[in-house]
C-alpha cells in the first residue's frame, strides 16, 4: 500500500481561511477517490496534517492531479507552507510516526 503524509501550516489569518476553503473539498474528493483505503486529518502543533493510504501510488496521483485538490495545489504557495512525504508500507504508521516521518523526510513546499 502507498502511504501519503502532509503537514501544512497556513500563512496568517487570510491563509488560514483560504486553507480551509480548499482543504474541505479536497478531503471530500479524497474520500470518494478510487484506490483510497483510509484518510484521516489531525492538527499537530501548528500543522494541519493528513495521513492517507492508497492501493497504489498511481491511484493517489490520479486524485492529486484532479478536481479540488489540483485547484488547492495551484494556490498553495499563497496560503500555506509545509511538507509532504509518500512511501510504500505494509501497515499504517501511528500519528506520532507519521508526523516524525513527514518532518524529517518530507519535501518542503
Q: Cα–Cα distance between 64 and 80 in angstroms, integer? A: 17
Residue 72 sits in a domain of what CATH number?
3.30.70.100
pTM reported for the whole predicted model: 0.94
Q: Residue 61 is part of which domain span?
A: 2-108
In the chain, how long is the greatest CA-to-CA distance?
39
pLDDT digit of tens for each residue in the chain (109 aa)?
999 999 999 999 999 999 999 999 999 999 999 999 999 999 999 999 999 999 999 999 999 999 999 999 999 999 999 999 999 999 999 999 999 999 999 999 9
What values do phi and psi take at 81, rounded to 5? -125, 165
Tally of domains in the chain: 1
Write down the pLDDT at residue 104.
98
pLDDT for 1-22, tens place per residue?
999 999 999 999 999 999 999 9
Amino acid at each position: 500500500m502507498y502511504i501519503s503524509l502532509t503537514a501544512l501550516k497556513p500563512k496568517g489569518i487570510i491563509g488560514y481561511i483560504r486553507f480551509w476553503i480548499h482543504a474541505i473539498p479536497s478531503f471530500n474528493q479524497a474520500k470518494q477517490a478510487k484506490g483510497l483505503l483510509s484518510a484521516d486529518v489531525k492538527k499537530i502543533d501548528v500543522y494541519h496534517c493528513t495521513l492517507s493510504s492508497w492501493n497504489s501510488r498511481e491511484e493517489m496521483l490520479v486524485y492529486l492531479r484532479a478536481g479540488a485538490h489540483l485547484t488547492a495545489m495551484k494556490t498553495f504557495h499563497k496560503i500555506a507552507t509545509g511538507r509532504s512525504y509518500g512511501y510504500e508500507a505494509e501497515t499504517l504508521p501511528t500519528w506520532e510516526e507519521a508526523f516524525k516521518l513527514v518532518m524529517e523526510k518530507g519535501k518542503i513546499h
